[in-house]
Amino acid sequence: MNQPKTDPRIQRTRKLIMDSFMELSNIKEFKEITITDIAAEAMINRATFYYHFEDIYDLLEKVLSEVLLVNLNCSNYPHNELTEEAITSIFVAITNFQKSLSNRCHRGYEDTIARIIREQLEIIFYQLLSPQQHSEKDEGLRIMAIILSSGMYGASVDWMRNSHKITPEEFIELAIPHLLPAHHIGSPDN
């Protein structure tokens, strides 16, 4: 929740690097972006890059995670509950994220991107599934989170490929009756 405050120098430099990477992504293919490029664009020393990231794949991973998280956090789910609303807004966030990616030529890294999306979704679904402040791990909920994250991601891929005629909201709402048992919908007794 509240980390012990990260050094502002680290915040600044990480932002500089990430922004420069996204900027370069608009110009070049991912494969053509070098760490030397990024350091030059960010006006930082190349060695400093390695202080923050393992390598360029680590950077890609963290940039994507962050962009995705920004999308997801826009909708602040109430009371950590997995409602129809929460599912819909998560699905919209995923499709938005994927649409924004398709503009930024990351061709050839679909599987990396897919893995990152699923990992982030898994974390979020696990939180939504867990009872309040329940910090002990529950293997059943973890597996359920995996199923939901993979399922949502697969659905988003399908929507991207085939179903541009209907909105993501309409698309996912077609599935919700089958996904959530009827008596769970609408936060039953609380």
Partner DNA sequence: TTGAATATGTCGCTTATACAACACATCGAA
Partner DNA sequence: TTCGATGTGTTGTATAAGCGACATATTCAA
Measured CA to CA, the distance from residue 54 to residue 114 in angstroms comes to: 20
Given candidates 2, 4, 5, 8, which one binds its own copies under the rule CB under 8 A? 8
Given candidates 23, 29, 55, 169, which one binds DNA under the rule CB under 7 A? 55
Cα dihedral sign, 70-63-149-96: positive
Indicate whether 8 belongs to the interface with DNA (CB under 7 A).
Answer: yes
| 176 contact partners, CB below 8 Å, separation of at least 6 | 84, 87, 88, 185
Indicate whether 47 belongs to the interface with its own copies (CB under 8 A).
Answer: no
Residue 62 token pair: 């963290």
155-159 long-range contacts, Cβ below 8 Å, gap at least 24? Answer: 155/91, 156/91, 156/94, 156/95, 156/98, 157/98, 157/114, 159/95
Indicate whether 51 belongs to the interface with DNA (CB under 7 A).
Answer: yes
Stretch that binds its own copies, among 43-51, 62-70, 145-153, 156-164 (CB under 8 A): 43-51
Indicate whether 36 belongs to the interface with its own copies (CB under 8 A).
Answer: no
Indicate whether 50 belongs to the interface with DNA (CB under 7 A).
Answer: yes
Residues contributing to the site for DNA (CB under 7 A): 5, 7-10, 12-13, 34-37, 43-48, 50-52, 55-56
Residues contributing to the site for its own copies (CB under 8 A): 8, 11-12, 43-45
